[in-house]
Every structure is written in C-alpha cells, then in structure tokens.
Amino acid sequence: MAPTMKVFFWWFVVGATMALAVIMVQGGIREVMEAQGSVWDLKLVELLTTIMGGGLLGGCIALILDRIKKS
C-alpha cells in the first residue's frame, strides 16, 4: 500500500472515530435508537453520512499537511 494511502486511511479512521465520539456526547445515538419506523432509517443515514464526512475531512486534511511537509 502506498504511503499516501496509509496516511489517508489512518486519518480517515481517526476522523470518523472523532465524529462518532462527538455524536455520542451530544446524544445522537440515543435519538437513532428511540426513532420509530421510517424515521429510524433517516436518522441512521444521517448518522452514517456524518461519520463518513468526519473521516473524509480528517483524511483530506492529513493528505494536505503531508504534502506540505514533504515539500
């Protein structure tokens, strides 16, 4: 695996974990568990997109900073 991919993947995981931690602190997981019917699906999609967004943000920032460090 290329070093750039390792950096991106590692910081993607860190960013996604941090996003999940923030959601848990704010009580977002409880909202998903208490939702009923089709609202549950909507809340789950909202939760997953937030976690993926945190991962992408962390990974992209890491790649930018890694590129600056190398130059």
pLDDT level of residue 57 (50, 70, 90 thresholds) = very high
Output the CA torsion 45→51→57→59 (10° steps): -120
| Residue 54 contacts residue 15 (beta carbons within 8 Å) | yes
Say how many CA atoms lie within 13 Å of 45 toward its Cβ.
Answer: 5
Query: Domain spans of the chain?
Result: 29-71
**pLDDT at position 29 over 80:** no
Tell me how far apart the alpha carbons of residues 4 and 56 are, in angstroms, rounded to a whole number. 14
User: b/e string for 36-59 if b means 16 or more Cβ within 10 A?
Assistant: eeeeeeebeeebeebbeebbbbbb
Per-residue pLDDT tens digits for 15-27: 999 999 998 888 8
